[in-house]
């Protein structure tokens, strides 16, 4: 076993040489969870608040607070849009969740989602120079039920302080009502990253996968395994991108979605699923194995694996099958097993496997573009534009079966994405201000550079302390022992 280092670049090589691929995959999952726990405890979370304005003498407090700040209050009173320039509102996102569907862990109680929401805020700051705050809320009503109206009212109340809202980890069916209501009734963009974000990055991956296998989106046969908020939105965006609904089959825990699913039709809260029942699966297929026969694409966002998607499903697919298995934290089938079953291109939601189809490639650039033109909403057209922006950026620098997506360290991609999304917002008529593509691109890069220079400076001066390497070594030892 080689010694692990702080960069984690040699993580795969840090496990015993006699470990199988499955043991390495399982051990990595344990290691990352253990290191997450110890590092979060070490840092006390991941985010803090730092001023943007300097203190050059104590009279500056009279400028930033009373009496000087009265001019700010009255200016915003007379023109509410001035709040985007005179406060941090124009670059501030609320990350809102009731923590009822946290990754693969389900209902974690309201504060249980803070780690994920802080992580979202961290990625927004590092990848796009966006300020964000985690807001985990209690959505229980007097009957002890999770009430979507409580989330809706909460978001409406916080609008004056934020430029956009990122909804996260809200269970279905509440997530549908929350998003669709707030998108129409709020004056700032309300974005559900589990749905629209996952949809956008998945479409991006699919675009490039189809380019590699030389298949046209209008001709492909698609199987969607899982019909939650993520896959339901992915399906909608794939159809908007040109797929044939008659060649799409979607499965939930009770079988295929189709017009005979009276259970879905009867529950009006699942109206998004019913829309897909009406559009897809005209042959009313209820067996996944049957649906996968000669399918070109299998997209699974169901439950953590690794034995959820079966190798025999993949073996029955068409030539050069494309398999996306994006459950967190463990994909429905490990990539090596999917490849052994015949998959030509495999993608997951994890960065430690090839082809990470992860929301982190989408939401920072999408939200940055929306913020810079002060968009009132993020349309489906903006989400599809972001998908093509990601795909095209990766294509320009080269793609192959194990490299269909941009990487999180390709900084310019986020600026390209922000600029493309901003132009689509202007085209869709939802932008308050009009900027050029270059203005959005340059401003995004400038904000990213400032953020990273600040973090580097804090690390160099130990304002962000370096964790003891023993934290990593202990987590690694525990992970190895857990799978022996």
1 in a structural domain: no
265 and 284 both lie in a single domain: yes
142 and 164 both lie in a single domain: yes
Active site residue: 65, 71, 140, 449, which one? 65
Active site residue 120: yes
272 and 137 both lie in a single domain: no
301 and 234 both lie in a single domain: yes
Q: Which residues in the chain come in under a pLDDT of 70?
A: 1-2
Instruction: Work out whether strand 164-167 and strand 131-136 pair parallel, antiparallel, or are unpaired.
Output: unpaired
**pLDDT tens digits along 116-153:** 999 999 999 999 999 999 999 999 999 999 999 999 99
Report helix, strand or coil for 293.
coil
**Phi, psi (degrees; rounded to nearest 5) at 52:** -100, -15
CB distance 323 to 345 below 8 Å: yes
What is residue 25's predicted lDDT score, i.e. its pLDDT?
A: 86
Looking at the 3D structure of the chain, how many domains does it have? 2
75 and 91 both lie in a single domain: yes
> How many Cα atoms are found within 13 Å in the side-chain-facing hemisphere of 349?
26
Q: Which CATH number does the domain housing residue 93 bear?
A: 3.40.50.10380
CA distances in angstroms from 412 to 417, 425, 447, 449, listed in the order given? 9, 20, 12, 11
What is residue 1's predicted lDDT score, i.e. its pLDDT?
A: 46
27 in a structural domain: no
318 and 216 both lie in a single domain: yes
314 in a structural domain: yes
CB distance 133 to 414 below 8 Å: no
65 and 141 both lie in a single domain: yes
206 and 118 both lie in a single domain: no
Q: Which of 291, 326, 347 is the last residue of a domain?
A: 347
CA distance 352 to 14: 13
Global pTM value? 0.93
Q: Which of 168, 188, 208 is the last residue of a domain?
A: 188
353 in a structural domain: no
Instruction: Work out whether strand 164-167 and strand 92-97 pair parallel, antiparallel, or are unpaired.
Output: parallel
331 in a structural domain: yes
383 in a structural domain: no
Active site residue: 120, 247, 368, 377, which one? 120
16 in a structural domain: no
- Give 3-state DSSP helix, strand, coil % of the chain, rounded to 5: 50, 10, 40
Q: Which of 188, 205, 231 is the last residue of a domain?
A: 188
172 and 204 both lie in a single domain: no
369 in a structural domain: no
Listed in sequence order, the residues at least 6 apart from 129 whose beta carbon sits closer than 8 Å to its beta carbon are 91, 368, 444, 446, 447, 448, 450, 451
Q: Which CATH number does the domain housing residue 211 bear?
A: 3.40.50.720
What is residue 12's predicted lDDT score, i.e. its pLDDT?
A: 86
212 and 332 both lie in a single domain: yes
Domain that holds residue 114: 60-188
**pLDDT tens digits along 8-30:** 988 888 999 999 988 998 899 89
CA distance 212 to 404: 9
252 and 342 both lie in a single domain: yes
127 and 253 both lie in a single domain: no
């Amino acid at each position: 076993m080689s010694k692990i280092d702080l960069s984690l670049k040699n993580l795969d090589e840090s496990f015993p040489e006699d470990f199988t691929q499955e043991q390495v995959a399982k051990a990595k999952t344990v290691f990352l969870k253990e290191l997450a726990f110890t590092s979060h405890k070490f840092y006390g979370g991941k985010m803090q608040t730092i001023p943007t304005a300097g203190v050059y003498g104590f009279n500056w407090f009279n400028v930033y607070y009373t009496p000087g700040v009265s001019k700010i209050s009255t200016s915003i009173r007379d023109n509410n849009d001035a709040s985007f320039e005179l406060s941090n509102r124009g670059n501030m996102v609320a990350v809102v969740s009731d923590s009822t569907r946290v990754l693969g862990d389900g209902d974690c109680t309201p504060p249980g989602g803070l780690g994920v929401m802080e992580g979202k805020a961290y990625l927004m700051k590092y990848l796009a120079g966006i300020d964000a705050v985690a807001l985990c809320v209690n959505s229980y009503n007097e009957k002890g039920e999770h009430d979507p109206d409580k989330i809706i009212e909460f978001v409406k109340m916080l609008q004056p302080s934020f430029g956009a809202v990122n909804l996260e980890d809200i269970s279905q069916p509440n997530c549908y009502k929350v998003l669709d209501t707030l998108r129409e009734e709020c004056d700032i963009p309300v974005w559900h990253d589990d749905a629209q974000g996952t949809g956008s990055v998945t479409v991006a991956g699919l675009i490039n996968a189809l380019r590699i296998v030389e298949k046209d989106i209008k001709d492909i046969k698609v199987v969607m395994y899982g019909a939650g908020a993520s896959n339901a939105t992915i399906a909608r965006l794939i159809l908007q991108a040109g797929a044939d609904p008659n060649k799409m089959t979607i499965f939930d825990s009770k079988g295929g979605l189709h017009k005979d699913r009276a259970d879905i039709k009867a529950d009006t809260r699942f109206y998004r699923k019913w829309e897909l029942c009406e559009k897809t699966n005209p042959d009313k297929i209820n067996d996944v194995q049957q649906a996968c026969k000669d399918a070109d694409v299998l997209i699974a966002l169901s439950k953590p694996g690794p034995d959820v998607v079966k190798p025999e499903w993949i073996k029955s697919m068409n030539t050069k099958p494309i398999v996306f298995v994006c459950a967190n934290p463990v994909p429905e089938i490990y990539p090596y097993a999917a490849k052994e079953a015949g998959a030509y291109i495999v993608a997951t939601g994890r960065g430690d496997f090839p082809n990470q189809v992860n929301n982190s490639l989408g939401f920072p650039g999408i939200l940055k573009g929306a913020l810079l033109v002060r968009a009132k909403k993020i349309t489906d057209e903006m989400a599809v534009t972001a998908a093509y922006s990601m795909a095209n950026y990766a294509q320009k620098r080269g793609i192959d079966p194990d490299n269909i997506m941009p990487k999180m360290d390709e900084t310019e991609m986020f600026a390209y994405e922000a600029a493309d999304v901003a132009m689509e917002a202007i085209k869709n008529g939802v932008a308050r201000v009009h900027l050029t593509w270059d203005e959005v691109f340059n401003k995004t890069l400038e904000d990213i550079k400032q953020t990273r220079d600040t973090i580097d400076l804090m690390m160099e001066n130990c304002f962000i302390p370096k964790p003891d390497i023993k934290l990593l070594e202990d987590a690694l030892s525990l992970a190895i022992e857990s799978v022996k």
